Amino acid sequence: MKTALSIMLLGCTASTAAMAQDTLTISVYSFAQDEYRAALYKPFEEICGCELVIETGNSVERMAKIEANAAEPVIDMAVISTQDALSLARKDLIAPLDSAKLSNFDKLYQAAQDPIGDHMAVGYTFYASSIVYRSDLVDITSWGDLLGDEVAGQVALPNITGTQGPPTLMMLGKALDHGDDFKPVISTIGEKADDIVTFYSRSSELVQLMNQQEVIAAPVGRFAWSSFKDAGLPFAWAEPAEGQAGGMNVMVMTKNNGNEELAYQFMDYWLSTEVQTKVAEMLVDSPANKEVTVSDEIADNLTYGADVIEALNILDPATILDQREDWVDQWNTEVIR
Amino acid sequence: MRHLANWSILGLTLLFLIGPFVIIILAGTSAGNNLAFPPEGMSMKWYLKVFTIESFRTSFALSMALAVFGTLAALVMGIPAAYALNRYDLPGAETVRTIVAAPIIVPGIIIGLALLRYMVVPLDVTVTMALFMAHTALVLPYAVRVVSSSMQNLRVDMEEAAVLLGCSRMQAFTKVVLPNIRSGVLAAFILGFVTSFNQVPVSLFLSGPGVRTLPIDMLAYMEITFDPSIAALSALLAFMSLAIVFIAERLLGFSKYV
Amino acid sequence: MFRNTREGLALALPAAIFSTLLFILPVGILLSEAFRQGGSWSVQGYIDFFASPLNRTVFLRTLKLGVLVAGSAAIIGYAAAFCIVNLSPKARGRVFGMVVLPLMISPVARTYAWIVILGRTGIVNEAITGLGLSDTPIRLLFTETAVYLGLLQLFLPLMIISLVSAMENIPRDVIPAARVLGASWFAVFFKVILPLTKEGLVIGGTLVFTGALTAYITPAILGGSKVLMLETLLYQRVNVSNDFVSAGVIAMILIVMSFTANLLLKRIATTRS
């Protein structure tokens, strides 16, 4: 009750500006917060003598809030997907990063150093996207198998509005020989819509559905793989003929947040070999720092190593941004109906 | 025969209404890592885990504070309003009633969105403050309605008698009216508390760094994992609500006022 | 009644002003935004909204589910309420308490249970395959059926409560008297019970219908992106597309639907008698 009261009072009296001095507000994905706290937040708070305020949520919600508070940023730095970062950059909501202020910048893989151009973001993790399936019930060797009869009525796809949506379309396009044109892919999904259990928007939802056998195959990012592994069911990670899709999450700095120094310090710490190794060993994020070395067993659960990262099929964030509206329109008429 | 038919209809209805709740309690006792029924083995570990999750503790405290103070604030405004609507020949009585009752009809999600857009963002009101005001506005209709209905049963002449016997109007209110509507006020408080505590749509848009009501925090937790701790927490909260209702029922026959 | 109007207004105004500032004003601005197009008044937002087939489907689905849930709640509600008022006072209190109970439980928890119940390996499917009604499990999650069941469970108590308090006002011997005089149960219901409980039906019907329209959690969890309803669509419009015009349009539609339902029910109730 006392805490409740003090929260109320805090909310009424203290202004955010007065607190900004020793507080860094970050906006992150909501998964694995316990691990981040141990490997990243707590150690950083000790180093900087400051307090981290952490806002979590899915990227769409967090983006909407950054935009709503553009005039007086509440969030100082955020980690989001490349296309969301580009969207923020186009709306002039984030500031270019000065690589000189990031001592670990040169240790990053080339692809992570300037993923969206103009130094508006740096990548901190890569992930592969492939298909998780029940190896005792089906065998998945191609992205095209997702629309096959074997899994009909027991397959889920990511929603078009989520991060995993467009990469899935891309890989289905390769499997169905449509190249880079997503239109026929969406039409095909529309024809098969009744065979698809749901278009999920959170990986946790998918984990639950796969655990209760509602779904036996679905595309998912590698970052969710560890939650499948714990379930005790025979789940397998497909290696489709078309290869794996890939994505990268990046860090951005909100424009004119007045807290840049602390934000740089935090970003640099997160990119350091030490933190990147710790986070990788917890199977949370695959490293973007090429100096990170992990055991084979750990590596097996991550998207790790130059060869793997270079082989990923990464969709250009600009393409996603420019065409998403059209995809969503077509999706809404042909798939959801 | 009639008896049997009666009880089977009631039994089925109650099974439909309460069954899911029983399943949640049991799913929370699972020893496995998945939400499942029947549960995979028995264990109390998820019930214990709930207490170790820090964000649940802070959001519980926030929800508790919102429910208690929001309902109190609503009563502070609602009791005089209910009194005025019952005892005075007000020209705009119907308008006042409509205005105060409006938050019940409008979808909660719109209230939250409107407050975010036109109060939190432009007027620099903190999210906590906005939540507090939104919850107060939401409970206000219940406060006015429940208190009104308990005031209707109170005869005006008792109050007039008190005034004739030398009480001031204020004294007449505190000495005659208030003691007689006590149970109505308590019922309004409990109803308001439960409404506010379980409120989801209004709070959906009203969250900020470190500020989140418990139901919203539960939804956020479900975005990460569907483990049985959510079932356990749901069951614990239900028991809390039940305890409150049970005590209220014992004290004043609460169901009369719902 | 006291005559001092000024005193009365002083007592009633704080609540009215608070509700106006905190509620009517912001919601009003939001709704009016849906009528603005490039600085002038226009209904273009509504035309655009209904031009999209998806939006039309979602609108019709919401209407359909609202009517179905309210209708089913009325049927089950009458049966249950009739049984409840026929119980001994002691049993009545207990059963009534159990009907009210779900209202006190967080809707998050109540909806959550349905994921487990309706899953492929959940009890409903176990029963269906066990009884040999179907060889393979039926897909129930992410269907309109799932949303319908979830909503019905959520709002049925409101209907039962309204009908029970209405039925308590029927004089004890009216129904036996009608039966003795040879009225069938059918006639008793339509000629005696319904007219005497119509007020309860109007209140309960409005509460259930409005509740079903404006519920968020249930369609979000049990329907997902395949079974969008207006409320989930509104959330998606705001959060995915930052589209406040559509949000205002949907909000307006929801409010108009609730009011219309309330007026219609009242109209039906008055013409019947």
- Which of A:202-261 have CB within 8 Å of B? 202, 204-205, 207-208, 211-212, 227, 230-232
Question: What's the mean pLDDT in B202-231?
Answer: 82
CB-nearest partner of C5 from B17, B83, B91: B91
The residue written with tokens 């997503």 in the block is A182
- Helix boundaries (H) for chain B: 2-27, 45-52, 54-87, 93-105, 108-115, 121-123, 127-152, 156-164, 169-172, 178-180, 182-197, 201-204, 214-224, 229-252
- Domain assignment of residue B36, yes or no: no
Instruction: Tell me, yes or no, whether C253 and C180 share the same domain.
Output: yes
Residue C1 has pLDDT above 90, yes or no: no
Q: pLDDT tens for residues A18-50?
A: 444 589 999 998 777 888 999 999 999 999 999
Instruction: Tell me, yes or no, whether C146 and C168 share the same domain.
Output: yes
- Which chain C residue is nearest to residue B219, measuring alpha carbons? C108
Q: pLDDT tens for residues A256-271?
A: 999 999 999 999 999 9
Length of chain B: 258
Q: How far is CA A15 from the centre of its chain?
A: 32
Instruction: Give the number of other CB atoms < 10 A from CB of residue C39.
Output: 6
Instruction: Tell me, yes or no, whether C37 and C112 share the same domain.
Output: no
The full set of domains in chain A, from first to last, is: 2-126+247-314 (3.40.190.10), 127-246+316-334 (3.40.190.10)
Q: How many domains does chain C have?
A: 2
Distance, in angstroms, between C185 CA and closest chain B CA?
13
Would you say A91 and A322 are in contact if contact means Cβ atoms under 8 Å apart?
no
SS3 label, residue A198: strand
Gap between the Cα atoms of C205 and C163, Å rounded: 10
Q: What is the pTM of this model?
A: 0.82
- Domain assignment of residue C171, yes or no: yes
**A245-254 and A77-81: which strand pairing?**
antiparallel
Would you say A25 and A53 are in contact if contact means Cβ atoms under 8 Å apart?
yes
Letter for the amino acid at A128? A
Q: What is the ipTM of this complex?
A: 0.87
Could you tell me if B154 lies within 8 Å of chain C, comparing CB atoms?
Answer: no
Which CATH number characterizes residue B98's domain?
1.10.3720.10
Supply the DSSP symbol for A22.
G
Which residues from B are below 8 Å from A9, CB to CB?
none
Instruction: Please report the pLDDT score of residue A7 as a whole number.
Output: 37
Could you tell me if C273 lies within 8 Å of chain A, comparing CB atoms?
Answer: no
Q: Which residues are CB-neighbours of A249 under 8 A, at least 6 positions away?
A: A29, A79, A80, A81, A82, A123, A124, A125, A127, A285
Distance, in angstroms, between C202 CA and closest chain B CA?
14
- Domain assignment of residue B65, yes or no: yes
Instruction: Tell me, yes or no, whether C256 and C229 share the same domain.
Output: yes
Domain span at B210: 54-222+241-256
Q: pLDDT tens for residues A292-310?
A: 999 998 888 889 999 999 8
- Domain assignment of residue C181, yes or no: yes
Q: Which residues are CB-neighbours of C182 under 8 A, at least 6 positions away?
A: none
Instruction: Tell me, yes or no, whether C139 and C28 share the same domain.
Output: no
Q: Give the helix/strand (H/E) hosting A162.
A: none
- Domain assignment of residue C37, yes or no: yes
- Domain assignment of residue C47, yes or no: no
Instruction: Tell me, yes or no, whether C134 and C64 share the same domain.
Output: yes
Instruction: Tell me, yes or no, whether C16 and C150 share the same domain.
Output: no
- Domain assignment of residue C236, yes or no: yes
Structure-block tokens of residue A180: 């880079």
- Domain assignment of residue B28, yes or no: no
Q: Give the helix/strand (H/E) hosting A266.
A: helix A260-271
Which CATH number characterizes residue C226's domain?
1.10.3720.10
Instruction: Tell me, yes or no, whether C82 and C121 share the same domain.
Output: yes
Instruction: Tell me, yes or no, whether C97 and C137 share the same domain.
Output: yes
Instruction: Tell me, yes or no, whether C24 and C146 share the same domain.
Output: no
Domain span at C1: 1-42
Supply the DSSP symbol for A21.
G
Q: pLDDT tens for residues A147-171?
A: 999 999 999 999 988 889 999 999 9
In this prediction, residue C17 has a pLDDT band, given cuts at 50, 70 and 90, of very high
- Domain assignment of residue B11, yes or no: no
CB spacing of A204 vs B208 below 8 angstroms? no
Letter for the amino acid at C245? V
SS3 label, residue B238: helix
Letter for the amino acid at C34? A
Instruction: Tell me, yes or no, whether C3 and C62 share the same domain.
Output: no
- Which chain C residue is nearest to residue B106, measuring alpha carbons? C255
CB spacing of A200 vs C224 below 8 angstroms? yes
- Domain assignment of residue B24, yes or no: no
Q: How many domains does chain B have?
A: 1
Q: Give the helix/strand (H/E) hosting B88.
A: none
CB-nearest partner of C12 from B6, B9, B81: B81
Instruction: Tell me, yes or no, whether C223 and C253 share the same domain.
Output: yes
Gap between the Cα atoms of C48 and C70, Å rounded: 29
- Domain assignment of residue B132, yes or no: yes
Which residues from C are below 8 Å from B59, CB to CB?
none
- Domain assignment of residue B16, yes or no: no
- Domain assignment of residue B35, yes or no: no
